[in-house]
Amino acid sequence: MKILIIKLGALGDVIISTSIIKKISEHHITDNIYLLTSPQYAELFSHFNNIKIISFERKGLINKLKTLHWIRKNKFDRLYDLQSNDISSIYCAFSGTPYRAGNHPRYPYNIHPNKAYKGECHSYDRLNQIIEQAKIPPAQPTPYLPTSKKTVNEVNSWLKKHDLLERPFVLFHAGSSPIHTNKRWPFFKELANKLKPVYETVWVGGKDDVNLNRAFSADIGIDATNLFNIFSLVELGKKAKFAVTNDSAPMHILSCSKIPVFGLFGPTYPRRTHALGQRDNIISVNKQMAVNDRDFVPSDISKISLEHVVSKLQEQNLL
């Protein structure tokens, strides 16, 4: 059979989906499997040896038509839509594929969970519900993002340079997308000072975090902005004691390191988007999570006090 898996983005969602995709590929081990994703995420699947990675740009009518033409031309026997948004639903509807698994209990999916998704569970659990309906055993909630020996050596070299091979350190991601600055917790610098007697602080992030991390590291800690790609950040995380992040892509990346990742949530809904395996490490304004999206009320992240975060670390004997 020819199998198509669709997972277009975004970065955190792609990372969450990796063990689901691995489970699908194991189920179809003797089949011809393709994964359709966006170009910027293609490298994340480089360790899937039995999957052919295909990428098209997502924006623009021409690119969408090219994608749909490619899907129809390949005449797939089964399609697993792990994106299940408006555009991937259109791809499914016009794919010509007889077996279409997806998130919504409606056309174009003929394999789907029985009830509509209202945010009552983590998005990962919902992906598991999709593959279970396709008679595939559920995956375990651990992202599948292994690192190479080259990456290990590069990270160890950086740690040696900064005298961190034996010295305990923590990772902070204090930034966010410029269009979501309301996700930024304002007390990272104060927390770094609180931890200073025990841990060195390493500030991580990408191009959107340059100015913020430069300002923080001028007073305390080490600026590692833009120094690590996704795989090397995973490896760096394995060497850290724990991480504290806003609700962001690095939160999901660092969950692959299997260390405690304390995610700070204010305007976003933690039940649906927290890092895999890190539910006990959610830190939010509200002590009890809403049951579903409709009941969730966004909060001002600055209402999470420094004392609240410190007490969370103390509960786990990290401070």
Q: Is the peptide bond prior to 39 cis by the omega test (within 30 degrees of 0)? A: no
Helix (H) or strand (E) holding 159: helix 149-161
Distance CA 141, CA 145 (A): 13
Last residue of a domain, one of 102, 133, 164: 133
Q: In the predicted model, what is the mean pLDDT of residues 27-48?
A: 96
Per-residue pLDDT, averaged over 111-124, amounts to 93
Total domains present in the chain: 2
Q: 264: domain range?
A: 149-315
> What confidence score (pLDDT) does residue 227 get?
97
What is the token pair recorded at 301?
A: 């992240």
Position 53 scores a pLDDT of 97
For residue 36, the cross-strand partners are 6, 54
Question: Is position 139 within any domain?
Answer: no
153 shares its domain with 92: no
Beta strands in the chain (DSSP E): 2-6, 32-37, 51-55, 78-81, 99-101, 169-173, 200-203, 222-223, 243-246, 261-265, 282-284
Identify whether residues 111 and 160 lie together within a single domain.
no
For residue 262, the model assigns a pLDDT of 98
pLDDT digits (tens, 9 = 90+) for 230-240: 999 999 999 99
Please give the Cα distance from 192 to 272 (Å, whole number): 28
Model-level pTM greater than 0.85?
yes
At 290 the pLDDT is: 67
Residues 228, 95: one domain?
no
In a domain, 271, yes or no: yes
Q: How far apart are CA 159 and CA 165, in angstroms?
A: 5
Is residue 180 domain-shared with residue 299, that is, in the same domain? Answer: yes
Q: What angle do CA 292, 15, 81 make, to 5 degrees?
A: 70
Residue 96 CB: number of other CB atoms within 10 A?
13
Q: Considering only residues 87 and 292, tell me which one the structure prediction assigns the higher pLDDT.
A: 87
Same domain, 217 and 120: no
- Among 103, 133, 163, residue at a domain's last position: 133
The answer to whether residue 43 sits within a structural domain is yes
* Domain identity same for 198 and 112: no
**By 3-state DSSP, what share of the chain in percent is helix, strand and coil, each rounded to 5?**
45, 15, 40
Q: Select from 74, 101, 133 the last residue of a domain.
A: 133
Q: How confident is the model at residue 32 (pLDDT cuts 50, 70, 90)?
A: very high
Query: Who contacts 198 (Cβ-Cβ below 8 Å, separation ≥6)?
Result: 168, 319
Do residue 14 and residue 98 come from a single domain? yes
Asked if residue 257 and residue 284 are part of one domain, the reply reads: yes
pLDDT digits (tens, 9 = 90+) for 181-201: 999 999 999 999 999 999 999
Backbone angles phi, psi at 84, to 5 degrees: 55, 40
Same-domain status, 172 and 299:
yes
181, part of any domain:
yes
User: DSSP letters along 186-245, please?
Assistant: TTHHHHHHHHTTT-EEEE---GGGHHHHHHHHHHSSEE-TTS--HHHHHHHHHHSS-EEE
Spatial strand order of the sheet with 222-223 comes to: 222-223, 200-203, 169-173, 243-246, 261-265, 282-284
Q: Are 273 and 180 in contact (CB under 8 A)?
A: no
For residues 200-209, average pLDDT:
96
Judgement on whether residues 182 and 109 belong to the same structural domain of the protein: no
Q: Is residue 86, in this structure, part of any structural domain at all?
A: yes
pLDDT one-digit tens code per residue, 94-116 = 999 999 999 999 999 999 999 99
Q: Is residue 18 part of a domain?
A: yes
CATH assignment of the domain containing 65: 3.40.50.2000
**pLDDT > 90 in the chain, percent:** 90
pLDDT > 70? residue 266: yes
Please list the residues that pair with 137 across neighbouring strands.
none
Q: Are 225 and 306 in the same domain?
A: yes
- On whether both 110 and 187 belong to a single domain, the answer is no
Question: Domain for residue 55, yes or no?
Answer: yes
- Would residue 144 count as lying in a domain? no
Tokens of residue 91, six digits: 């791809």
What residues have CB less than 8 Å from 43, skipping those under 6 apart?
230
Over 70: is that where the pLDDT of 156 sits? Answer: yes
The whole-number pLDDT of residue 296 equals 85
